[in-house]
A and B are shown apart, each in its own frame.
Chain A
């Protein structure tokens, strides 16, 4: 794991954009910041808290 991580973190540009976006959104969720998906109706197509 440590070897793989050191290779991948050699340059931040190598981190996929989808993961960077997911990391940012996860941080927002963890911070408790209210976003649209908490307000409903969930008409924006967001995946959170949906069946």
Chain B
């Protein structure tokens, strides 16, 4: 696929098998001339029971991503794109494009199953709470689906809860699945928040070394974050 020019990049699962070897992984992909990367934490999401031995904690994943960020910065090759890192770096530098997990718009990402049913993001287990209709329904019926409306209201409550956080301008409440203990939770998991904050602070501190962050951006984030989107 790479040779045929139809290969855009890879998503690499980060698990108990490889999370301690960020440099080895990073160098492997570069050696294979794979320069568009995304790393995703392997976590238990309720679909399968037999993945638990591969699951890593938010802290382990954060350690991995911080190491990857440092390697990316040290390499300093603009052709190397690591999605999550570029999203965070861009937002710290005043950009407004972001990966889904930092959009606060999880209702915009759905899963269509083989029977045509439309559910929420596939990060979630397939549950009735997130069944928004079918591809055979009228689009207006799906958009006004009561469960979709309930989900949207939940996302707004979460954003309201997080709005005073220094890093809200990046995460917007975070991934609706990963950052919360239960589907109906409004307050995010402290373990996830603590590690996201550590990750954002690490990247921000490195960027501040080069005086690239405009005072307006620093000021707004420290005050709870203006909504730049």
Please indicate whether A and B come from the same complex rather than being unrelated chains. Answer: yes
Whether the Cβ atoms of A29 and B97 lie closer than 8 Å is: yes
Residue from B8, B80, B95 in contact with A29 in the complex, judged by beta carbons closer than 8 Å: B95
B99 at the interface (CB under 8 A from A): yes
Q: Which of chain A's residues have a CB closer than 8 A to the CB of B9?
A: 45
Question: 4 closest A-B pairs (Cβ-Cβ)?
Answer: A26-B95, A48-B97, A45-B8, A47-B83
| 0/1 interface trace, chain A 1-37, chain B, CB 8 Å (1 if under) | 1001111110000111111011101110110000001
Contact-residue size bin, chain A (C-beta under 8 Å from the other chain): 20 to 34
Q: Distance (Å) between the CB of A43 and the closest chain B CB?
A: 8
Main secondary structure of the interface of B (DSSP, over half): loop
Q: Distance (Å) between the CB of B166 and the closest chain A CB?
A: 15
Residue from A5, A14, A15, A45 in contact with B208 in the complex, judged by beta carbons closer than 8 Å: A5
A51 at the interface (CB under 8 A from B): yes
Q: Distance (Å) between the CB of B170 and the closest chain A CB?
A: 13
Query: Beyond the given A16-B76, A18-B77, A47-B38, could you list 15 further A-B residue pairs with CB under 8 A, ordered by the A residue number?
Result: A5-B208, A5-B210, A15-B212, A19-B89, A21-B78, A22-B90, A22-B93, A26-B91, A26-B93, A30-B95, A45-B8, A45-B9, A47-B99, A49-B103, A51-B100
Residue from B80, B95, B98, B210 in contact with A25 in the complex, judged by beta carbons closer than 8 Å: B95
Residue from A5, A9, A16, A29 in contact with B90 in the complex, judged by beta carbons closer than 8 Å: A29
Tell me which residues from 49 to 88 in chain B have a Cβ below 8 Å from any Cβ of chain A: 72-73, 76-78, 80-81, 83-84, 86-87
B31 at the interface (CB under 8 A from A): no
Whether the Cβ atoms of B209 and A5 lie closer than 8 Å is: yes
